[in-house]
Structure 1
Amino acid sequence: MKYQLLNNYDLAVYQDEDSGSIAYLLNETKKQKQYKITKTIYSILSNLKTPLSKEECYKILFGDNCSPEYWELFSKLFSDLIENKIIVDFNKNKSKDFSVDIEKVERKIEQKFVLSDIIHESSKSRVRKIIQNDKIYILKIHKLSAKKGFPQIANEDTILRRIEKLNIAPIVSQYSSEFHYIIIGYLDAYIPIRAHIVKQEKSIEDKIKISLNILKAYVKLFNVGIFHNDIHLSNILVNESHDIKLLDFEHSFFRNDKSEKRTNVAVNQYIPPERIGASSFKKISSDNTLKSEVYQIGLIIYLIFKEKFPVFGNTWSELKESIQNFRMTKPKECYNDKTQINLYNFLNQAMNNNPNLRYKNILEMYINFKKFFYEKNS
Structure 2
Amino acid sequence: MKYILSKFITLSKEKNVDIQYLMTINLRKEKRFLINEQLFLFFNKFVIANSFETVLDDYISFLKINDSKDKINLEKILKSFFDDALKNRILVPENTEEVSIDFKPLYEVNDFIDSFRVINVISNNKYVDVYLVEKNNNLFVIKYLNKNKHTSFKKYKKNINSLKDEYSLLSMFDTNLICAAYSLVINDDKNYIVLEYIEGDNLFEYVKNNNLTEKSKISIINQIINAIELIHCKKIIHGDIHFGNIFCTNNLIKFIDFGLSHELNGNQSEEKNGGVHIFIPPERLVVEGKSKFTHTKNFKSEIYQIGIIFYYIVFSKIPFKAYTWNNLVNEKLEYHPENDINIINLKNIKIKKLLINTLKQDYKERDILKI
Q: Which TM-score applies when normalising by structure 1? A: 0.67
Q: Aligned-pair distance for 1:186?
A: 0.7
Change (3 A) 1:352 1:136: same
Aligned twin of 1:115: 118
For residues 100 and 300 of structure 1, the distance between their equivalents in structure 2, rounded to whole angstroms, comes to 32
Tell me if 1:198 matches 2:208: yes
Q: Is the 8 A contact 1:230 1:264 kept in 2?
A: no
Residue 350 in structure 1 maps to residue 321 in structure 2: no
1:210 counterpart letter in structure 2: I
**Could you say which residue in structure 2 is the equivalent of 1:138?**
141
**AA aligned opposite 2:370:** F
Question: Which letter does structure 1 place at the counterpart of 2:144?
Answer: I
1:36-47 aligned within 5 A = 41-42=24-25, 45=27, 47=29
Match of 1:159 among 161, 165, 169: 169
CA distance in 2, matches of 1:168, 1:127: 21
1:76 aligns with 2:84: no
Give the 5 Å matches for 1:80-119: 83=86, 85=88, 103=106, 109-119=112-122
Change (3 A) 1:104 1:122: closer
- Cα deviation for residue 113 of structure 1 reads 2.4
Conserved 8 A contact 1:3-1:88: no
Q: Please give the per-residue CA displacement for 1:338-377, whole angstroms capped at 9, x wherever unaligned.
A: 31x4433322221111112212xxxxx1xx333xxxxxxx
C-alpha separation in 1, matches of 2:86 and 2:117: 40
Question: Contact conserved, 1:352 with 1:358, CA < 8 A, in 2?
Answer: yes
Deviation per CA, 1:206-240, whole angstroms, max 9, x where unpaired? 11111111111111222333222221111111110
Aligned partner (choices 307, 318, 328) of residue 337 of structure 2: 328
Aligned twin of 2:58: none
Contact conserved, 2:13 with 2:20, CA < 8 A, in 1? no
Do the aligned residues in 2 keep the contact of 1:4 with 1:88 (CA within 8 Å)? no
**Runs of 5+ in structure 1 lacking a partner?**
6-23, 50-72, 360-364, 371-378
1:91 Cα deviation after fit? 8.3
Mapped partners of 2:325, 2:353: distance in 1? 29
Per-residue Cα deviation, 1:235-262 (whole angstroms, up to 9, x for no partner): 111110x222110112222234277663
Q: 1:197 to 1:331 in 2, by over 3 A?
A: same
Match of 2:64 in 1: none
Question: Does the alignment pair 1:318 with 2:327?
Answer: yes
Q: What is the identity percentage for the equivalent residue pairs of Structure 1 and Structure 2?
A: 22
Identify the structure with the greater helix proportion.
1
Summarize the Cα distance change of 1:313–1:128 in structure 2 as closer, same or farther, 3 Å threshold.
farther
Could you tell which deviates more after superposition, 173-182 or 138-147?
138-147
- 1:277 is aligned to 286
Secondary structure of 1:166's aligned partner? coil
The count of residues paired between Structure 1 and Structure 2 equals 305
Amino acid at match of 2:137: D
Note if 1:222 corresponds to 2:232.
yes
- When the two chains are superposed, the root-mean-square deviation of aligned CA atoms in Å is 4.1
Higher strand content, 1 or 2: 2
Structure 2, unaligned runs of 5 or more: 1-5, 32-43, 51-81
Mapped to 1, the partners of 2:208 and 2:139 lie a distance apart of 26
Secondary structure at the counterpart of residue 294 of structure 2 = coil
* RCO comparison, higher one (Cα < 8 Å, 6+): 1
Q: Paired residue for 2:129? A: 126
Letter in 2 for 1:157: Y
Contact 1:311 1:322 in 2 (8 A): yes
What is the distance in 2 between the residues matched to 1:187 and 1:33?
41
**Deviation of 1:106 (Å):** 9.8
Counterparts in 2 of 1:101 and 1:239: CA distance versus 1, 3 Å: closer
Counterpart contact for 1:170–1:184, Cα < 8 Å: yes
Distance between the aligned counterparts of 2:19 and 2:216, measured in 1? 48
- Which is further off, 345-354 or 143-152? 143-152
Classify the secondary structure of the residue corresponding to 2:247: strand
1:248 aligns with 2:230: no
Deviation at 1:336, TM superposition (A): 7.8
1:352–1:258 distance in 2 versus 1, CA, 3 Å = farther
AA aligned to 1:369 is K
Partners of 2:358 and 2:366 within 8 A in 1:
yes
Amino acid at match of 1:234: G
Distance in 1 between the 2:131 and 2:309 partners?
A: 26
Give how far 1:77 is off: 8.0
Spell out, residue by residue over 1:265-323, the C-alpha distance to the aligned partner (whole angstroms, 9 max, x if none).
Answer: 3211111111112435621132x211111111111101100110122432221222222
Structure 1 residues 357 and 82 mapped into 2: Cα distance closer, same or farther (>3 Å)?
closer
Q: C-alpha distance in 2, partners of 1:124/1:239? A: 29
